Structure 1
Amino acid sequence: MEVTPRLTWNEEKSLQKLLGNVSLRLLYKSSVHGNSFGTMLNKCSCQGSTILMVYLPNNVFGIFVLESYPEMSEHLKKPTTSFLLSFQKNKIMEMTAAFFNSTVDLIDNKLRFNFSQVQYVLLRSNTQNIFIPRLLGEKLGLTYDFKSQYTEYEVFRVEGMKDEPGYINRIAGATPHRDSLLAELRAYRPYADLVSEIRILLLGPVGSGKSSFFNSVKSIFRGHLTRQAIVGSDISTITEKYRIYSIKDEKDGKSLPFMLCDSMGLNEKDGVGLCVDDIPHILKGCMPDRYQFNQKPITPKHPTFITSPSLNHRIHCVAYVFDINSIDNLSFQMLAKVKQVQKEVLKCGVSQVALLTKVNNCNGVLQDNFLQMSESMIYKSQVRDVNMMLGIPKSNILVVENYASEREMDPLQDILILSALKQMTRAADDFLEDLPLETDAIAGMFQLCMRCQLPGSRHLAQTGIADSLFETLLPFMFCLLSLRASN
């Protein structure tokens, strides 16, 4: 009779994605084969890589073992590489930051995985209890010594594991590196506090992945997949409005200091898609959120046209978005349209990056340290083509795989998306740092007056830096008078 595993389809798919598209074969199920650890080890030893899944009332706890379980005759003292993970509500919550060289002890009815002299995971078959110490529990998102009673456990053989050197260590290092990028972006502040948040404009052909990139960034900071922006197809554009998206951090619910601006897709035909004459208005901050695009460019007569945009309203970085698999097939007309758009961007002096989406293998893009592109990356020719086409340095040509049809999040995928966003913030800071001195000074006055909450500062925020000299300097004069009075 076939034994049905308790591991859910979603959990199995998450494990397969985590371990590199492996297959799982059920070797042992305690509710069927018995709760004896001795029997389990006799059946599961010398089976290669395995994963032990322990089913608890509110989550599932797993111990992955790279090498085979040792035979009983070896007294279970052979070191093996292991890592821990947990599921909650059919979703991987956390994985430990590094692997452990562990040994396995079987004493009476106790199965113990020893990671150090004081750190271990203990299972008791007679009481069906599991113990996870505080340090390991914190790495799994737990804040206390975790003791619970399990209902059953299963052991799976992991088939199809890659035998490449360092592959497993790479998987283990992905989650802490992703968390480091998240922390860095959460702590980001625009250059010299000249603006409260930077604005990144996404431009590219229809179906290149502009809206999907915003959805992917938002998903990472929310901690689960979300699709706020409607995604277009390769044939027609779905985005018909100019959207300025803020991103809220699930950690504290506050908006992060960067915004992604989504536009209508570029089309190689004249009069179709985003109007090139709209580009200067977008870059200068004159176009309002939710503006409905049409075949004619926006004019100052439009009721919502922003006549005196501030530095906050302006675009600080432009990201040209392309499907990496279609770079070689860009038509002459589309290339001419992109160059026409770039001419307007360069005229405004805005920083530029290129975002290449829809890669097929995240694992092959970055080096093992996740900091540089791999020398063996299969997309090097596309990166070179974009470099020659737009003149953008290769360090500013970013490769990602957006979340599209996935049901679960992937740390390697997150790393590429967050690394791209990080490079965009750096490009925006370069733009802010390169502003003319008078613009820099005025923006600094504005920030100082806003912090002091002085009369006239709100007026400056509404009118922007393009107002008359008297209107611009008035808040700063108030600030100087107040500082003198306080002294």
Structure 2
Amino acid sequence: MAVTPRLTWLEEKSLRNLLGNASLSLLYKGSVHGYSIGDMFQRCSRQGTTMTMIYLQEETFGVLMLGHIPTIADGFEKPHISFCFSLQRKGTVIQIPTSFLNLLKVTSDCLEFSSSDGLIFSVYPEKNLLSLHHLLVKQLGLQSYSSSQFLEYEVFRVEGIKDDPDCIKMMMTATQHRRKLLADLRDYKPHADLVSNIRILLLGPVGSGKSSFFNSVKSVFHDHITHQAPVGSDNISITEQYRMYSVRNGKYGQYLPFTLCDSMGLDETDDVGLCLDDIPYILKGCVPDRYQFNPCNPITPKHPNFITSPSLKDRIHCVAYVLDINSVNNLSSKMAAKLKQIHEEVLNCGVAHVALFTKVNNCDEVLQNNLLNMTRKMTSQSQVMFINKMLGIPLSNILMVGNYASEQELNPVKDVLILSALRQMLRAADDFLEDLPDDS
């Protein structure tokens, strides 16, 4: 008969997200296999990285141990790298990036862990007792007392992650930062309530990843991969209509206060791709949703759906130049000239602007350890300096993402880059709104 874990589907999903979509397989369940150190070691030794879940009355305490749980023959004071965390109600993960360097003590009735800063916890399986240092209780956000009876004790094998402490720490930190970014963006309101919705225009060469960026943003807010906007190839623009994409806060949630406006790709050949004469009208808010682009015939006020008197809410509040980081240094002189011509129009309209590099392969190397800023190595890359010099965009407004293309699951580090880019676009739009004259 199969043994069913106490861990719920929602909790397991939170843990898998925490670890970058690792898989969990139940090895040991105290109420089934016996509450003793010997029983646990017999079933869990030499199984690779494991996750121990200790279920308290209102919350769950967890420990991720990298590498094998030792056998009796290995000795019981062999150093191990471990991380502890807590699971709150509704599957919310709160984690602490402290490394527990040693499995200090194993007796017939006790497991004891200690960290370099002295935080200790002990487990007494036969007594169903968990003892935690009071600082650890506070840092993990636990409501229980330092010494608590637990309801169940389970150990899972963890597969699909690197046994690399730095990688695990980055993933766990990214999950925490992702949650904060989502909360900030869900609470976002445009500056001074001048408009109820920020409009961000995505402009860039064919195949640069404009539609994919919208799909990626929606995927993060929906917590699963989505492909609403059709995506073309590097050479063919599949976007032929002007599309205004809104994003819900979850599948059935309210619409968030921003719209991503997708445009036809730019092409270096004349009469192919987005017509530059359309851009002033797009920026001013004269072009309606689902307008069919014609590279040879730009929109005019005679078009039946032309918006003749656009208000501030109809205008573009931020332009994002979307560029493939792998081909920026190889832009043709014609494409560079088109981008400069567009940027002059953007500057004339006073619209906020950022550059968004897509197709970044090494997402985990982009951000510093605190995930708040890009590393100096990334900001000094030739692609960054090229766009900084060509368009005069400040380094703080040159952003990097790895859009979701072929993936089936979300990655917290990718999500942090996507959400950080969106937040910077909204901040740039707020600067634009704040700088408007009083009679706008």
TM-score where L is the length of structure 1: 0.70
SS state at 1:300 partner: coil
Q: Which residue of 1 aligns with 2:163?
A: 161
* Cα contact 1:317–1:424 (8 A) shared by 2: yes
Q: Quick one: structure 1 residues 154 and 259, their matched pair in 2 at CA, closer, same or farther if it must change by over 3 Å?
A: closer
SS state at 2:304 partner: coil
Higher normalized contact order (CA 8 Å, seq sep 6+, divided by chain length): 2
CA distance in 2 between counterparts of 1:104 and 1:348 reads: 65
* Cα contact 1:209–1:357 (8 A) shared by 2: yes
The answer as to 2:53 corresponding to 1:51 is: no
CA distance in 2 between counterparts of 1:146 and 1:203 reads: 58
Shift of 1:107: 7.2
SS state at 1:407 partner: coil
Deviations 1:283-313 (A, max 9, x none): 0000011111113111111111111111000
Shift of 1:66: 3.8
Q: Which residue of 2 aligns with 1:98?
A: 96
Output the amino acid matched with 1:284: K
* Cα contact 1:241–1:263 (8 A) shared by 2: yes
SS state at 1:96 partner: strand
CA distance in 1 between counterparts of 2:325 and 2:125 reads: 49
CA distance in 2 between counterparts of 1:255 and 1:146 reads: 44
Moved more, 249-258 or 419-428: 249-258
Q: Which residue of 2 aligns with 1:258?
A: 258
CA distance in 2 between counterparts of 1:247 and 1:49 reads: 41
Output the amino acid matched with 2:283: L
Question: Over aligned residues, Cα RMSD in angstroms?
Answer: 4.5
Moved more, 228-237 or 113-122: 113-122
Q: Quick one: structure 1 residues 291 and 123, their matched pair in 2 at CA, closer, same or farther if it must change by over 3 Å?
A: farther
CA distance in 1 between counterparts of 2:123 and 2:277 reads: 64
Deviations 1:87-110 (A, max 9, x none): xxxxxx654331356668867688
SS state at 1:377 partner: helix
SS state at 2:313 partner: coil
Deviations 1:120-173 (A, max 9, x none): 77867x9xx99999x99xx899xxx998778x855468885336xx55433322
* Cα contact 1:285–1:309 (8 A) shared by 2: yes
Q: Which residue of 2 aligns with 1:227?
A: 227
Q: Quick one: structure 1 residues 55 and 209, their matched pair in 2 at CA, closer, same or farther if it must change by over 3 Å?
A: farther
Deviations 1:182-234 (A, max 9, x none): 11111211111111111000000111010111111111112222111111110
Q: Quick one: structure 1 residues 268 and 15, their matched pair in 2 at CA, closer, same or farther if it must change by over 3 Å?
A: farther
Structure 1: runs of 5 or more not aligned:
1-5, 7-11, 87-92, 440-487
The answer as to 2:397 corresponding to 1:399 is: no
Q: Quick one: structure 1 residues 302 and 370, their matched pair in 2 at CA, closer, same or farther if it must change by over 3 Å?
A: same
CA distance in 1 between counterparts of 2:251 and 2:16 reads: 28
Q: Which residue of 2 aligns with 1:314?
A: 315
Shift of 1:437: 2.5
Q: Quick one: structure 1 residues 240 and 379, their matched pair in 2 at CA, closer, same or farther if it must change by over 3 Å?
A: farther
Shift of 1:71: 6.3
Shift of 1:392: 0.7
Structure 2: runs of 5 or more not aligned:
6-11, 143-147
Q: Quick one: structure 1 residues 109 and 180, their matched pair in 2 at CA, closer, same or farther if it must change by over 3 Å?
A: same
Q: Quick one: structure 1 residues 429 and 84, their matched pair in 2 at CA, closer, same or farther if it must change by over 3 Å?
A: same
Shift of 1:388: 1.2
CA distance in 2 between counterparts of 1:157 and 1:257 reads: 39
CA distance in 2 between counterparts of 1:146 and 1:431 reads: 56
Shift of 1:436: 2.0
Deviations 1:401-457 (A, max 9, x none): 111111111111111111111111111111111212321xxxxxxxxxxxxxxxxxx
* Cα contact 1:359–1:399 (8 A) shared by 2: yes
**Larger of the two Rg values belongs to structure:** 1
TM-score where L is the length of structure 2: 0.77
Q: Which residue of 1 aligns with 2:378?
A: 377
* Cα contact 1:96–1:172 (8 A) shared by 2: no
Q: Quick one: structure 1 residues 378 and 237, their matched pair in 2 at CA, closer, same or farther if it must change by over 3 Å?
A: same
SS state at 1:371 partner: coil
Output the amino acid matched with 1:202: L
SS state at 2:266 partner: coil
The answer as to 2:334 corresponding to 1:336 is: no
* Cα contact 1:123–1:130 (8 A) shared by 2: yes
Q: Which residue of 1 aligns with 2:363?
A: 362
Q: Quick one: structure 1 residues 178 and 159, their matched pair in 2 at CA, closer, same or farther if it must change by over 3 Å?
A: closer
CA distance in 2 between counterparts of 1:293 and 1:122 reads: 69
Q: Which residue of 2 aligns with 1:206?
A: 206
* Cα contact 1:268–1:334 (8 A) shared by 2: yes
Q: Which residue of 2 aligns with 1:443?
A: none
Give % identity. Answer: 52
CA distance in 1 between counterparts of 2:396 and 2:54 reads: 46
* Cα contact 1:84–1:96 (8 A) shared by 2: yes
Deviations 1:448-472 (A, max 9, x none): xxxxxxxxxxxxxxxxxxxxxxxxx
Q: Quick one: structure 1 residues 359 and 21, their matched pair in 2 at CA, closer, same or farther if it must change by over 3 Å?
A: farther
Q: Quick one: structure 1 residues 227 and 104, their matched pair in 2 at CA, closer, same or farther if it must change by over 3 Å?
A: farther
Q: Which residue of 2 aligns with 1:428?
A: 429
Q: Quick one: structure 1 residues 340 and 281, their matched pair in 2 at CA, closer, same or farther if it must change by over 3 Å?
A: same
